Structure 1
């Protein structure tokens, strides 16, 4: 499957939250998010499911609003990359990586790594593919 790179560089094509997913898959994802500290409780399937980034979607670093206002798909297409917003997102993501490695199976971590922990790599690839450096 071809990667679907979100505004912040996440790879939606492998994300365990991205729909369509079965109810059981979403429940397992909600439990996993709780297990490694992304949530303080197991949330509902409606809350854990994702339909992709839109300006109406909550984004901790306001990246979705920023990319939408610039009419670009993701930060890798931005002339101001890397800005403070995306650097903060990279740092926030890196902060969770050790906890994920500790409490996830190898298979779970491999999915999370591809979906979330490679966002900077994904955005650099977008930049290189567009001929920006």
Structure 2
């Protein structure tokens, strides 16, 4: 499966919330999100499921609104990458690693790592691809 990269660099294609998921998978994710501290309670399946970045989604760093305003899909496509917003997102993501280790199984950690902890790697790769594409356009 080709990665589906969110505005902030998360890999939606492996995210435990990204739809379609079974009811049991969503329930397990809601329980894990509560244990890790992402939620203050175990939320319903409707609350935990995600269909991707939209302006209706809450975004702690306002990255969805920023990418929408710039008419780009993700921060890797931005000429200002990496800005302070995305740098702060990287910092906030990293601060949850100890909680992942405490509450996740090895398999769950592997999913969390691929889905969320590699956001900078994903965006760096996309930013480089954008730069290469621009160079090719300039040379044509």
Which interval holds the TM-score relative to the shorter structure?
over 0.9
1:1-16 to 2 correspondences below 5 Å: 1-16=1-16
Structure 2 unmatched runs, 5+: 133-140
What is the TM-score normalised by the length of structure 2?
Answer: 0.91
Q: Does 1:26 align with 2:26?
A: yes
Q: Does 1:36 align with 2:36?
A: yes
Aligned positions, number: 132
Q: Secondary structure at the match of 2:53?
A: coil
What is the TM-score normalised by the length of structure 1?
Answer: 0.96
Distance of 2:106 and 2:123 partners within structure 1? 25
Distance of 1:55 and 1:30 partners within structure 2? 22
Deviations 1:8-63 (A, max 9, x none): 00000000000001111100000011111111211110110001001221111000
Q: Where in structure 1 do 4 or more consecutive aligned residues deviate above 6 Å?
A: none
Structure 1 unmatched runs, 5+: none
- Report which of the two structures shows the higher radius of gyration computed on alpha carbons: 2
1:100-119 to 2 correspondences below 5 Å: 100-119=100-119
Cα RMSD for the two superposed structures: 0.9
